[in-house]
Structure formats: C-alpha cells, structure tokens
Amino acid sequence: MNAVILYASRYGSTRRYAEKLSEQTDIPAVSYQEAPSLSGKSRIIYLGGLYAGGVLGLARTLRGLSLQDGQRLMIATVGLADPQIPQNRENIRNALQKQIPARLYDRAAIFHLRGAIDYQTLSLGHRTMMALLHRSLQKKPAEEWSEEDRALIETYGKQADFVDFASLRPMIEEIQRGAE
C-alpha cells in the first residue's frame, strides 16, 4: 500500500498517536511540514491537534488536493474534549466542515482521539487563551456548562493525559479494510 501518515502536533499527543499508528500499520509517519507529494498516495492519513476550533495544519496540507479514483483520505482530530460525547463530536465536525472543502470532507473517513494537556508546557498565547476561557466559564452558572466546559474546568492548570492507543483500533480496521 502506497500510504502516508501525516501529523500536526504542537505539544506531542498527536505525534504519539501518529507514531503508534505507524508502528501498528507499517505506514510511515511524517510531520505535515515535511509532507511528500500526496498525488501518488493511495491512502492519506492525517492526524491533527485541535486548537481554537481548527485542526492544526489541515487546511494547508489539503489545499489543492483533489482525490483521484482509488485514493482514500482519513482524518483524525486530537483534542482535550471527550469525543465520546455527541455534542463534542458535533462541534469538532462542524469546525472541520468550515476548514476543508466539502468535496474532501464528504469522502473522508473521520475519527476523533483524545489528547493531553500540560499547562506548564503551553505557549504564553495558549496559556493566556485558556486563562481567559477559564475565567469566562467561572462567571457562568455551573448548570449552564457543557461537558467540554466541565472538562476544561476540571483540568485547568493541571497535567492531564487522556491518550489511549486502543482508540486507534477503528482507524487500523479502516486501513486494513482499504488494503483488501
């Protein structure tokens, strides 16, 4: 199979998933910044961290891409919000639809993985953004918080690692299905 795993990771969770997926599928994983030409790839697998409602590097990577017959696109988002909660999954998918053309979104197999956060390693900009978000949530009554809001409140200022390599299983099954 002529495939590639591309990843965009700022703090490491997405890179960890990409490396584990590569190890389990024998598909090379490279940073999206070092992406080879995608035109000849039968399968393009993109894992990207979620930041401020968008997937890091996704729009840039897929710009100008048009899938040929037989080419398959898989996209996995990695974020702090629990993707098992339908509202979170819907929010992520709405953001994806704004970030990539419908012609790609409609043909992509989309997955969601849970990442990690360590406030000690966040950039100043990200720490500031999280502090502002945390402050605004504290002003709202707790009964108005979404599940995503609760997760932010619970993990704020801490180190939390929700990376679960077992959650790669559906992606591996999709890769194997396409190889048949």
Span 76-128, pLDDT tens digits = 999 888 888 888 888 889 989 988 888 889 889 999 999 998 888 888 988 89
Q: Which amino acid is at 40?
A: G
Which pLDDT value is given to residue 46? Answer: 94
| Band (1; pLDDT cuts 50, 70, 90) | low
147: how many CB neighbours lie within 10 A of its CB? 14
- Which pLDDT score is estimated for 125? 87
> Taking the model in full, what pTM does it have?
0.87
Amino acid 110: pLDDT: 95
Given a contact cutoff of 8 angstroms between Cβ atoms, the answer to whether 52 and 42 are in contact is: no
The residue with tokens 């965009």 is 8
SS3 state of residue 146: coil
Task: Grade residue 40 by pLDDT with cuts at 50, 70 and 90.
Answer: confident
Tell whether the model's pLDDT for residue 164 goes beyond 70: yes
pLDDT score, position 76? 96
Widest CA span of the chain, in angstroms? 54
Has residue 172 got a pLDDT over 60? yes
Three-state DSSP class for residue 174: helix
| Comparison of pLDDT for 71 and 43, the residue scoring more | 43
- Across the range 67-78, mean pLDDT stands at 87
pLDDT at 179: 61
Label residue 166 by pLDDT band (50, 70, 90).
very high
Residue 51 pLDDT greater than 90, yes or no: no
CA angle 75, 47, 103 (to 5 degrees): 25
User: What's the start-to-end Cα distance of the chain, in Å?
Assistant: 10
**75, two tokens:** 């996209």
Q: Which segments within 40-120 are labelled E, that is strand?
A: 43-51, 54-55, 72-79, 108-114, 116-118
- Please count the other Cβ atoms lying within 10 Å of the Cβ belonging to residue 81: 23
Mean of the pLDDT values across residues 66-72?
Answer: 79
Query: What is the structure's pLDDT at 171?
Result: 96
